[in-house]
Structure 1
Amino acid sequence: MTARIDEQLSADLDELAGRRERSRAWLIERAIAGFVADELELYRSLEEAEAQIDRGEYSTQEQVEAMFAVRGMQAQPG
């Protein structure tokens, strides 16, 4: 696999590799693995949220506001 990165990122990667006493390849693999894991987690959680909505497992705005009101709190607009 090959990839092109700009000169500044390449220099930063070299600096980090030196500081961590690791190879560029090791750092790149860790970075890609972290990115892929984060993205997959996001997509999986979105799919689960959509499935919950399809099953009717959600609260309306009014229900959430009522829940806060019972607790003496005010829901903050998002």
Structure 2
Amino acid sequence: MSVRVADEVTQQLDALAQATGRKRSFLVLQAINDYLEREAWQVQEIQAGLAEADAGEFASNAEVASVFARFGA
């Protein structure tokens, strides 16, 4: 697999690789893994929320008002 990135990104990767003593490829793989994990979590949470909504599980008006009051909105 090949990926083209802007020269600035390559320079940032090189600087981070030098600062951390890691190889650029290690940093890229770590970034991709972090991204995939975060996105999978988000998709899972969205699907769970949709399933709750489909099941009619909503917060009551009082619960919503309580949260807004707690945060000053």
User: Fold conserved (TM > 0.5)?
Assistant: yes
The root-mean-square deviation of aligned C-alpha atoms, in Å, is 1.7
Q: How many pairs align?
A: 70
For each residue in 1:4-53, what CA deviation from the matched residue of structure 2 results, as whole angstroms up to 9, or x when unmatched?
00001101101100111111110000000000100110011000000001
Q: Which amino acid aligns with 2:10?
A: S
Q: Which amino acid aligns with 1:31?
A: A
Partners of 2:69 and 2:31 in 1: CA distance: 41
Task: Find out whether 1:74 has 2:69 as its counterpart.
Answer: yes
Task: Find out whether 1:19 has 2:19 as its counterpart.
Answer: yes
Task: Extract unaligned runs of 5+ from structure 2.
Answer: none
Task: Find out whether 1:46 has 2:41 as its counterpart.
Answer: no
Highest CA radius of gyration, 1 or 2?
Answer: 1
TM-score, scaled relative to structure 2: 0.85
Task: Find out whether 1:32 has 2:32 as its counterpart.
Answer: yes
Percent pairwise identity: 24
SS in 2 for 1:74: helix
Shift of 1:74: 2.5
SS in 1 for 2:47: helix
Higher helix share: 2
Task: Extract unaligned runs of 5+ from structure 1.
Answer: none
Shift of 1:58: 1.3
SS in 1 for 2:25: helix
Flag as ranges the 4+ runs of structure 1 deviating above 4 A.
Answer: none
